Amino acid sequence: MTGPAPVRRGYAAPLRAVDRTEVLSEGPSGTRFVLYKTVDPEDPYMEGHFPGLTLLPAVFVLEALRQAVTGLVGADEPLNLLEVRSGRWLAPMQGGDEIRLDVTVTPDGPGRLRVTADGVRQDGTPVAAVKATLGDRAAVLAARPPEDPPPAPDDGPPGPDYTGILGLLPVRHPMLMVDRVESLDPGRRITVAKAVSGSEPCYRRMADGLPLSRYMYPRSLMLESFGQASVLLWLSTGTAQGVPVAAAFRDCSFFGEVRPGAVLRHVSRIDRLMENNVFVSGQTWDGDRCVMTVGALVGSSRPRERVDRAMTAAP
């Protein structure tokens, strides 16, 4: 006896990031709705994110907004992130937590929607506050990257090899999104390569016959990959203690489409280093195309008991 056939996806996505939505109001000036997502350790990518401590990656909140608004507007093509104007991650989201996001969507020009969201856990603890812009495919293709030339190949010393990366980052397959450190100037700058493979879980169970546009690599994963490169740079300073987590994103912009076969090149720089916190910025390139700029990523190093409530509750 066989079970139901698996649901085929219409576009690349790392996981089903929305369990249900409730529309509160809608009209020409905007729409308000609530979305819910329970953090499931069995979801794709989750097994490799902090093994032994299931935490929802901050970028999957952005993915939830993308999926929910795409469904809400009934777009023929999926919407995509154009900008993350600001995103703050206020408390951990662990396995079993139900996250509620209160979302407002307003028009922002042709093919563009402004999205604001505030998230809480089921116990009422605030977990996220996001301001982002989503756009249709025409808006994605219209976004113009900065005119800066691609960075020259680095002549600096190489960083850790793959086994060294495994020894440093608290992530594993398939959530490990750093393939090679091309160069590392400890405490200052890192250049990292990430190959986009068609065998990644975000392409799993996609329906046959879809146009190439549906295979666009999720921008939430691109931002996660940049964040992992930045953690490697931070760890090179010797100042990060405890569990490194994303605390905030600001002024992130995306350009063009990235598909399987691309090799992303993240260039991350430390702008400021404080006790238990780091501020980085940088760009991501696909060949000579700039596909993402990060104005600021704030990392925070927290004691494990602050991110694992099971330790706090233990006798």
Which amino acids are annotated catalytic?
49
Helix 59-73 vs helix 219-235: angle between axes, to the nearest 10 degrees?
170
DSSP string, 118-134: EEE-TTS-EEEEEEEEE
User: In this predicted structure, what is the pLDDT of residue 7?
Assistant: 60
3-state secondary structure of 202: helix
Contacts of 159 (CB under 8 A, 6+ apart): 181, 182, 183, 184, 190, 192, 232, 236
User: In this predicted structure, what is the pLDDT of residue 53?
Assistant: 82
User: In this predicted structure, what is the pLDDT of residue 310?
Assistant: 53
One pLDDT digit (tens) per residue for the chain, 315 residues: 344 445 678 999 999 999 999 999 998 889 999 999 999 999 999 988 887 788 899 999 999 999 999 999 987 899 999 999 999 999 999 999 999 999 999 999 999 999 999 999 999 999 999 999 999 999 999 999 998 888 877 766 778 999 999 999 989 999 999 999 999 999 999 999 999 999 999 999 899 999 999 999 999 999 999 999 999 999 988 877 777 888 999 999 999 999 999 999 999 999 999 888 999 999 999 999 999 999 999 998 876 666 666 555 444
Q: In CATH, what number does 20-143+156-313 get? A: 3.10.129.110
Partners of 294 in beta bridges: 252, 282
